Amino acid sequence: MTARGSSLQTATIEDAGRYGTVVACSILALVLARLAIAAAVPLTFDEAYYWRLSQHLAGGYLDHPPMFAVIIRLGTLIAGDTLLGVRLVSVLLALPASWAVWRGAAILFHDDRLAATAALFFNLTLIVELGTVIVTPDSPLLVAGAFVLLFLAKLTDGGAGIWWLAVGAAVGAGLLSKYSALFFGPSILAWLLIVPSERRWLLTPWPWLGALVALAVVSPVLFWNADHDWDSFIFQFRRLAVEHFTLRYLGEFLPAQLGLATPPIFILGVMALIAFLAGRGAAHSARVLLGAMVWPLVIYLAWHALHQRVEGNWTAPIFPAFAIAAARAAHGIEWSGRWKSLADWSSRLAVPTGLAMVVLIAAQATFGVLPLGAADPTARVLGAGWPELGPRIDAIRAEIGAPAVLVENHALAGWLSFYLPSHPPVIQVTERFRWANEPPPSPELFKGPLLYICPASATEARFVTGRFRMVEKIASLDRERRVVVERYSVYRLAEPTGDPLDEATLRAWLMKERQRHVRQTPDRSEKQ
């Protein structure tokens, strides 16, 4: 190599090093900004519900495996039962996930600049920017997915078979987070079968030992379900049933992914994945691996969207691979004509677009800068008004001497549990199976007056109030952010006529109400 060539290479390495430093500092700044947002934005009903579940750690819960509860409990041990405490660990998980994406991209493509861009793109997606601020099972699942990809990348780079044990541990951690981690299995198998040089692993014990590690890690979930009539599996996997077909939800699914990835990163990622399918853009094993981490879940969710709604965040496990693919489109694939122009513009707009979108959404969630009224989803979902409403409800409860509060849905149970300053027992009269890990409510709580709260439109109010001799509506309260977001009815109840937590009676009552509603709306099918 000539002296001139050596100096150019050194300059290139130094430039990549400076770029990596800037990206690392940017990612750290983004995480700090998320912590500030986490400490300011009210909890969603899911977060409040998860916070309450985290008070009783167990091997499983009705809705999900237990990792969400573990990360909330860790955060509250550090920062207390505060907004930041609930969200702290979820936000910080972006750091190890970003490192895994960075290292995985570097191993797959041997390009430090591309690897830094992949980590930056990953952090600019809304699934990370906002999805780690709002605690869901997807936060730890993102980390698990990033490390599954990193450990598989080590195997493509000539790593020893022992890395399969790390793959199994990461898959197991994903299964402790969310059942959709099951798709890691088909993804890994597809990669092994499609790439000839990787098929040899199937003739060794390593992948099978990795599967045993994954099974061992997820065993608490299996034991919990076995002890609870497989409730969690039944609750989640009932979504697999197909009752009818419609294009309505498919039309929601695709725009949601465009928004979650942000349009420039979405365009780059899709361009790269198409190039990989055409045999361009990467070595065979690398491009098959990235595609395999994306396509199985996407294809299934597209199928699912033909008969049921798909929540946007369900694609969370694909984003580590998708961010790396988008970075490859920006740095390592030779485009021509209009495709080159599209890739160039998407690369330039990725950072400003991602930042602008998160600033706008965060400002709306915190301050309601756009006058959307009661239709504002950030106000309805994020619990706007609850910090003010909670103390008012607690004052009414103290005034009538109610030792507990009754509700009929888990969303309200979560919000009241978190936002009532005295944290009295909040008892959901319906769906008692959600609280299987909590001690049952003491019968002593039902001997005195009780406070019952429900949305003003709730039909279940007649079921609950009909099971007490003394019923008095004592208030109508509004949850507000500039306008009324939701109105609640508040009742004083006393002297139950039977068991207020009788689930069989409730199911029979709800069925009767459903039949009554159908009889009263005979032209419903025509209106639809």
pLDDT tens-digit readout, 210-254: 999 999 999 999 999 999 989 899 888 877 777 777 778 888 888
Q: How confident is the model at residue 408 (pLDDT cuts 50, 70, 90)?
A: confident
Write the pLDDT tens digit of every residue in 486-507: 999 999 999 888 777 766 655 5
In sequence order, what are the beta bridge partners of 343? Answer: none
Give domain limits for the chain: 3-366, 386-520
- Run of H or E residues at 377: helix 377-381
- Percent of the residues in the chain that have a pLDDT greater than 70, as a whole number: 91
Does residue 525 have a pLDDT over 50?
A: no
Helices (H), 125-247: 126-129, 138-156, 163-177, 184-194, 206-227, 231-237
- What pTM, to 2 d.p., does this model score? 0.90
Give the pLDDT of residue 3: 47
Distance separating alpha carbons of residues 334 and 280, to the nearest angstrom: 9
Does residue 6 have a pLDDT over 60?
A: no
Residue 106: which residues within 8 A CB-CB, separation 6 or more? 112, 114, 115
Give the pLDDT of residue 506: 54
Distance separating alpha carbons of residues 515 and 520, to the nearest angstrom: 9
CB 54 within 8 A of CB 69: yes
The conformation of residue 442, written as its DSSP 8-state character, comes to: P
Does residue 308 have a pLDDT over 90?
A: no
Does residue 7 have a pLDDT over 60?
A: no
Give the pLDDT of residue 522: 41
- Please indicate whether residue 204 or residue 514 has the higher confidence score (pLDDT): 204
Q: Averaged over 258-276, what is the pLDDT?
A: 95
CB 129 within 8 A of CB 259: no
In sequence order, what are the beta bridge partners of 473? Answer: 491
Q: How far is CA 269 from the centre of its chain?
A: 21
- Is 278 in a helix, a strand, or coil? coil
Q: How confident is the model at residue 465 (pLDDT cuts 50, 70, 90)?
A: confident
Give the pLDDT of residue 250: 83
- What is the residue-wise DSSP string for 401-466? T-S-EEESSHHHHHHHHHHSTT---EEESS-GGGGTTSPPPPGGGGSS-EEEEEETT-TTHHHHHT
**268, 259, 221, 250: which is closest to 131 by C-alpha?**
259
Give the pLDDT of residue 5: 47
Q: Averaged over 414-438, what is the pLDDT?
A: 93
Write the pLDDT tens digit of every residue in 312-336: 889 999 999 999 999 999 998 889 8
CB 20 within 8 A of CB 105: no
Instruction: Provide the residue type at 159 as one letter.
Output: G
Does residue 413 have a pLDDT over 70?
A: yes
Question: In whole angstroms, how far apart are CA 420 and each of 69, 384, 425?
Answer: 21, 15, 10
- Please indicate whether residue 407 or residue 376 has the higher confidence score (pLDDT): 407
Write the pLDDT tens digit of every residue in 133-187: 999 999 999 999 999 999 999 999 888 999 999 999 999 999 999 999 999 999 9
Question: Of the ranges 16-20, 68-72, 181-185, 405-409, which one carries the lowest mean pLDDT score?
Answer: 16-20
Give the pLDDT of residue 520: 45
Q: How confident is the model at residue 8 (pLDDT cuts 50, 70, 90)?
A: very low
Highest mean pLDDT among 164-178, 270-284, 464-478: 164-178
Distance separating alpha carbons of residues 119 and 412, to the nearest angstrom: 38
